[in-house]
A and B are shown apart, each in its own frame.
Chain A
Amino acid sequence: DTAVSQTPKYLVTQMGNDKSIKCEQNLGHDTMYWYKQDSKKFLKIMFSYNNKELIINETVPNRFSPKSPDKAHLNLHINSLELGDSAVYFCASSPLISGAKNIQYFGAGTRLSVL
């Protein structure tokens, strides 16, 4: 069974559309994350949730809204997509948010292409 799974794997859409990416982890972890990886492989944290509570919210446009219905799920909704949103988005989870337990387990990524 896949530990951290995100869907879809590929997402091609037009500018201005709204789209969602789903993430689920079956590891029993308390903390989940969304990262954005640009074309130069730079990985930047976007959001983090601990037990359904938002604890990290980096400087991300309001068009991006995370939703955590329970601690096993963290979905990402993006409104009014722009060309610059094209990237690979990774979901990750960890047992705890800090210390030596902050080893993160990543999903396979969602490659978003905005045309």
Chain B
Amino acid sequence: SQQGEEDPQALSIQEGENATMNCSYKTSINNLQWYRQNSGRGLVHLILIRSNEREKHSGRLRVTLDTSKKSSSLLITASRAADTASYFCATDGGAGSYQLTFGKGTKLSVIP
């Protein structure tokens, strides 16, 4: 069954506001990743957080991970129109797992 589920499915904000997307998953993991997909393009890796980490930053991105709740959040601060895209979380399946399972994504629209 599908591992990751993003929430909300769609999010519309004004430029300059912060955007928060959530991801829930079902089984144990080694790592959780977030990817961005611009319309008509392939996915681009944004950030990876290991299962023993609770928070990670990269530029305007902040990712949190709560393994007890099997959930993660992606915060984009001071959003820009160029951040308009779909955002996916991806989880591996824990020890011995060879594949990533992607959620259905959150479609973010940043209005100038």
Interface residues of A (CB under 8 A from B): 4, 40-45, 48, 55-56, 90, 92, 97-100, 102-109
Contacts and interface: CB of A to CB of B under 8 A. Distances in A.
Contacts of B97: 98
Interface of B: 2, 30-31, 33, 37, 40-45, 48, 50, 86, 88, 90, 92, 97-102, 104-105, 107
Contact of B98 (A44, A56, A107): A56
Which 6 A/B pairs are nearest by Cβ-Cβ distance? A106-B42, A43-B102, A106-B43, A97-B98, A103-B45, A108-B42
Contacts of A90: 42-43
Given A43-B102, A99-B30, A103-B48, A4 B86 contact: no
A99 B105 contact: no
Nearest to B93: A98
A43 B88 CA distance: 9
Contact of A102 (B31, B44, B105, B107): B31
B74 to A, nearest CB: 16
Contacts of B107: 41
Contacts of B86: 41
